[in-house]
Every structure is written in structure tokens, then in C-alpha cells.
Amino acid sequence: MSGTDLGRYLDEVTAIAVEAGKLTLKYRRDPRVAEKGDHGDDTSPVTDADLAADQYITEHLTALDSQIPIISEESKSADYATRKNWRRFWLVDPLDGTKEFVRGSDEFTVNIALIDNVEPVLGVIYVPARELLYYAEKGGGSWRRRGDGKPVRIFSSVPDLSKGLTVVESKSHPSPEWEDYLKDFPVKERVSTGSSLKFCLVAEGLADIYPRMNPTMEWDVAAGDCIYRNSARLGQRKSSLTYNKPTVKNGHCEKRQIRHGVQVNEG
């Protein structure tokens, strides 16, 4: 997929993410919360904001290019027999960090990614309550924009292990396994934040690594993975994540894989 093709989509997709984010803010005062089956035995919360943003994003991505299929957290996905033949598709998490949203935190995001040949080639993360936008396209770098301000290119950095690591971690998934996991590494600082903001902290050099102990879904990580991959000063950062697997669930991070960057196993 050429840079010209990606550029044709990028402005439209960032605008879609921003408008969907504004829509979620209308539900902050009194979010109606229900429980849904989460592609397995577990359940997770869903609100009117999730569903409204999902509808808005789906309608506008379809209008943008009706030939590209969509996988969204809040919509029924095609089975693998159908989607295994897809080369290109959208991965959408219309409201990432629903638990933070319900608690009244501002650490929730809108995530949209374009997958091409199992790789995220375009990624957009919008933080509605902060009017903060992150985005990237393959070969075009990673960027941050506040409100209507000028976009600023962001870069991840290779950590100096002798000075210790800044580790970004989840607010919603603490565990004894996580505490045990960190014992083997020179941790200087632990930064706790919600949603896909963890990817953004690594991508802009404010954190060194994001190990994820709990499983994730492909739509949880695709946009952030794209922003991280393109945050290098030259070329791309490596990532072990791939997309459109038979199951769209990713596994947990293993100690042997610790290195600079985002640590989420592909399953």
C-alpha cells in the first residue's frame, strides 16, 4: 500500500476519530452501563458512549471506502473462514478504557487502525477529554496534536538500562504476577495510565517499555502498535504483533521477550 493511498485516508480518519470522541463526551455525566460477553467466558462493561461512537465510526469509514471491511469491538465480526482472505481491513475500538470512562477519568480513547497484509499501516488514537490526538502512517512518522494546534512529530527512545527503566502499566489490570514480573528488571519509575495511552507514552519517549501481562484483543492494540512502530527516527520499530489471526485475541507478555518498546505477545 503506497504512501499516497495512506495519505488519502489519514485526514479523513483523524477527523472521524475526533468527531466520535466528541460524541462520547455527551454521555460522561450519566453513562448507562451494561455487561457484555467479551469473546469468551469473561464479561466487560459497555456504555451508550461505546455504541454511539461505534455507529458513527462504522458509518463514516464505510462512506470513506465501502470496499474495506471493518472489525470493531462493538460489532459482530466476520468468522475466520471469511476474513482469512482479507488483505486490508479496519480495526476499531470505539471507546478504549470503558472502565476509566465509567469512573469519570479522562484516560479513555478512540482507536482506529488500518491493517494491510497483517500489519497496521495507519493508526489514530484520540483522547476526547484532553483534545489530544496521536496518529501515524507507515513511512510517515508518528505525530501528536493538541486541540487545533500544530502537529508535532514524536519519537521513542532506546533506554539506558544503567539508569533504570520507566515502565508504563495498566490501571485496570493489577496482579501478583505483574509484581513478580517486574522484580527481574531495573525499574526506575512506574507510570500508571488507562487505555491505549500507554502506547503513546512509549511512542513519545516518556516511557521505555509497556509489558502487558493480560490478554488483549487485536482492536485494543492495533492503533497504538502503528504509532509505536513509526516512532523511530529512522525506519520503523520492530513489533511482534500480527493481525487477522484465527482468533483476534493476543496472549500475554513473556519475560524472555523484554526489550525496548511495547511488549504484547501475538498469542
Three-state secondary-structure class, residue 239: coil
Whether residue 43 is annotated as binding a ligand: the answer is no
How far is Cα of residue 100 from the mean position of the Cα atoms in its chain? Answer: 15
> Residue 117 contacts by C-beta under 8 Å, 6 or more apart in sequence?
1, 87, 88
Give the orientation angle of helix 48-64 with respect to helix 3-25, to 10 degrees.
150
Whether residue 169 is annotated as binding a ligand: the answer is no
Whether residue 97 is annotated as binding a ligand: the answer is yes
Whether residue 216 is annotated as binding a ligand: the answer is no
Question: What are the distances in angstroms from CA 179 to CA 25, 58, 255?
Answer: 34, 39, 13
Q: Identify whether the C-beta of residue 250 lies closer than 8 Å to the C-beta of residue 242.
A: no
State how far the Cα of 95 lies from the Cα of 128, in Å rounded to an integer: 10
Whether residue 201 is annotated as binding a ligand: the answer is no
Whether residue 106 is annotated as binding a ligand: the answer is no
Whether residue 93 is annotated as binding a ligand: the answer is yes
Q: Identify whether the C-beta of residue 58 lies closer than 8 Å to the C-beta of residue 224.
A: no
User: Which 3-state string (H, E, C) describes 134-159?
Assistant: EEEECCCCEEEEECCCCCEEECCCCC
In this structure, the dihedral spanned by the alpha carbons of residues 167, 118, 120 and 105, taken in order and rounded to 10 degrees, is -50
Annotated binding site: 73, 93, 95-98, 220
Annotated binding site for substrate: 73, 95-98, 220
Annotated binding site for Mg(2+): 73, 93, 95-96, 220
